[in-house]
Amino acid sequence: MQLDPASGWCQGVRLCPSPNFNARPLGEISLLVIHNISLPPAQFATGKVQEFFQNRLDVTEHPYFEGIADLRVSAHFLIERDGIVTQFVSCLERAWHAGVSSFEGRETCNDFSVGIELEGTDDLPFTDVQYDALTALTRQLQSTFTAITAQRICGHSDIAPGRKTDPGPAFDWARYRAALEKEERQ
């Protein structure tokens, strides 16, 4: 995968454009937020996350969908259980992934962050290929947006404590950070 700095789109990933984005107020990109999602909860490879981010989810298919029917959300990327990466929004645009949030006292993290969703739940381990894809994607983002340092990578729970719990206790932060450090040294 290769991130094009001029367009904010990655080459070599699946593209699935979402209408749920707008312009960044300052154009700044300095934070990476890791999330998890599965639709229905704890069910994988359903294609429902893609439908949800494109406002095409049939809310009659599952009782859980009724509760999210009116939400208009997106992330920049989704990494599925098999390591496939899908991009929904250009990194240069403001995806709607963080909601009410704050990082280091600064509100509205969507304004200056990139959001990556991992297909999963708070309490099920993520796959090896998801960690591999996440590491590769993070390195692409960091090489293009140099303000995204190791200290500016966080979970949704870190920027919306009490409201969000993802990526959850099953996400191995030590493994992810060690992989980033290893690639940085190479």
- Structural domain boundaries enclosing 161: 2-182
Residue the block writes with tokens 């959300």: 73
Helix (H) or strand (E) segment spanning residue 178: helix 173-185
The 10s digit of each residue's pLDDT in 3-32 is: 999 999 999 999 999 999 999 998 899 999
Q: What is the mean pLDDT of residues 81-106?
A: 97
* Pairwise CA distance, residues 69 & 86, whole Å: 22
Residues 6+ apart with CB under 8 A from 11: 1, 2, 3, 4
98/87 Cα distance (integer angstroms): 16
CATH for 129 = 3.40.80.10
Q: Work out the mean pLDDT of the chain and round it to a whole number.
A: 96
The model's pTM is: 0.96
Give tens-digit pLDDT for 147-156.
999 999 999 9
pLDDT at position 160: 96
Categorize the per-residue pLDDT at 185 as very low, low, confident or very high, splitting at 50, 70 and 90.
Answer: low
Show which residues are catalytic: 117
Q: Report pLDDT digits (tens) over 52-73.
A: 999 999 999 999 999 999 999 9
Domain count, the chain: 1
Q: What average pLDDT does the segment 124-132 reach?
A: 98
